[in-house]
Structure 1
């Protein structure tokens, strides 16, 4: 089974995305009408649920085989709840002319500090820990290498907790920010409608 660990982990990651992303979108669309702050709350709770599940999965992976995969699946499902909702929130708290720019920045920053930057950070921490466990006379053992990578990966769970807290904080402001955008859109539409109304009046007076 050990040679298939990477394949199993990849399959679990893919399946958790297939389940988690639509589930998050469904929860967001179902709850937003009754609870206007539900979007950031779903994202925050999802991250705060994912963090302990992923931490426990990494802690148990040394002595168990199936339990870590089960925990990872549910942890990644909870993590993937926010994908569709974050895209939605990024759009409705920004006025229409700036939405494409906001979405581009959101994608850029999430990839810059996520799948692009995090492997480097985890690697740096892991290498530092391996040097701590080793000496010039005795290189790090396989157990020390495993422990170094395991401890380095705990950083991602810590970041999940920080992200969850920030999502919950944003729930305090999301309704106000959306109302500002809706008001700005309504004012812009009213201003655009006024000239056409004036032109119609002028044409009517000329016709008379």
Structure 2
């Protein structure tokens, strides 16, 4: 592995580079089908009683909201978007969310925005993560492409990959998440993408 601090010899490398996983894979000669998609997040001014509201997801539109601090955090995917590494907040998405907000959470439309930011989802073609060793390059492992679920799934995935790496059988089979599924066509798309 070549770095700015020098070269390091290692028998194994894990590609856990999130939105940059495709680029890291390419350095090793591995096709890692992960693309970056910007996600805009907004947090409202204080909303009092809404703080008791559970996380809510509208699977028909991908709109979601939940309590955050003294306000409500909300966001939504964009239809027809193209991959990008941009992390500039796109305020125009509020216009596309207006109808959904009015229908699903009308009180959100009555308060101001306290803060906003943009981050990157690391998305695979089937919205499922890529986990485990790849067939093409010995010692190259993936733990990427979580499509917005990485923070949620990381503890369990880390535990299962550690078992696999140690030569044990993971408690939950991970073969269905192998990188090879994209070349064999054996994919199981996520049914409810947020």
TM bucket, shorter chain? under 0.3
TM-score for the superposition, normalised by structure 2: 0.27
